[in-house]
Amino acid sequence: AALREGYERFDPRAYLRNNYLPPRADFSSEEFVVPWKLRCLAETFASGEIRGRTLIDVGSGPTIYQLLSACDHFEEIVATDYLAVNREELGRWARGEPGTFDWSPFIRHVCKIEGRGEPWQEKERRLRGRLRRILPIDVHRPDPLGTPLRPPADGLLSAFCLEAVSPDRAAFARALAHVGSLLRPGGHALLLGALGESFYLAGAARLPVVPLAEEDVRAALVGAGFVLRDFRSYAMPPALRTGVDDVDGVFFAHAQK
């Protein structure tokens, strides 16, 4: 209930400012956190092994950076979020309406690190075209979308959602199992998330987070029926500890169901 109340005050604009503008979104060096996240995804998708018809992104929030490498490998991207304000923000971006957040520095950077010489506008167009469904979701329900996804997704992505909506590690593990049910057996899951974080700010909202250790993430994945394929972590440098949260680091996990 406390979490639900917190999210009623979630301000997408403030969240974007806190996490997706400098100093965290600084593309001048790979030492900053946003380039680190984008590289994890770009390198993982570069293998060509993770692909299919549908990819579902759980708890997309108001952001699309997590879909930039993924969108080349799936025919359809399904974005999801609990909050209507976030789904609306994503819808405005997908339709190319004016006044939405400027993701172009992210798109340029991903095109650069993918190294195929693709003009960034082409990637933007491809993602907009493939982002056809933006659905409500609640990861605390065994059936997070309210109805089963048919056919199930070929790929699952979730960034900074499960730990940010779970009161404790057991709830995090259950939420992971719930969203895992949206994925077909053999499908790949990519998770990005916060390590050792107890809260973050989004305007007037102060959201509690379950502080995770690397081992908690590994154990929850195995418990939810996944085989771990890759695990990486990033230590938040002092210059990026700006007071918008108390995060210690970031994990990236690639697992297969």
Do the strands 249-256 and 183-195 form a parallel or antiparallel pair, or are they unpaired?
antiparallel
How far is 235 from 237, CA to CA, in rounded Å?
Answer: 6
Task: Pick the closer one to ligand SAH by CB: 10 or 172.
Answer: 10
Task: Pick the closer one to ligand SAH by CB: 44 or 86.
Answer: 86
Do 235 and 201 meet the contact criterion of CB atoms below 8 Å apart? no
CB of 119 to ligand SAH, least distance (A): 25
Do the strands 74-81 and 52-58 form a parallel or antiparallel pair, or are they unpaired?
parallel
CB of 109 to ligand SAH, least distance (A): 16
**Residues annotated in a binding site for S-adenosyl-L-methionine:** 15, 20, 59-60, 65, 81, 86, 138-139
Footprint of ligand SAH on this chain (CB under 6 A)? 7, 10, 59-61, 63, 66, 81-83, 86, 137-140, 159-161, 164-165
Q: Alpha carbon 112 to chain centroid distance?
A: 21
Residue nearest to ligand SAH (CB): 61
How far is 44 from 12, CA to CA, in rounded Å?
Answer: 28
CB of 117 to ligand SAH, least distance (A): 27
Task: Pick the closer one to ligand SAH by CB: 10 or 101.
Answer: 10
Question: H-helix or E-strand containing 139?
Answer: none
Percentages helix, strand, coil for the chain (3-state, rounded to 5) are: 40, 25, 35
CB of 179 to ligand SAH, least distance (A): 9
Task: Pick the closer one to ligand SAH by CB: 113 or 201.
Answer: 201
Its sign, for the CA torsion 139, 141, 144, 146, is negative
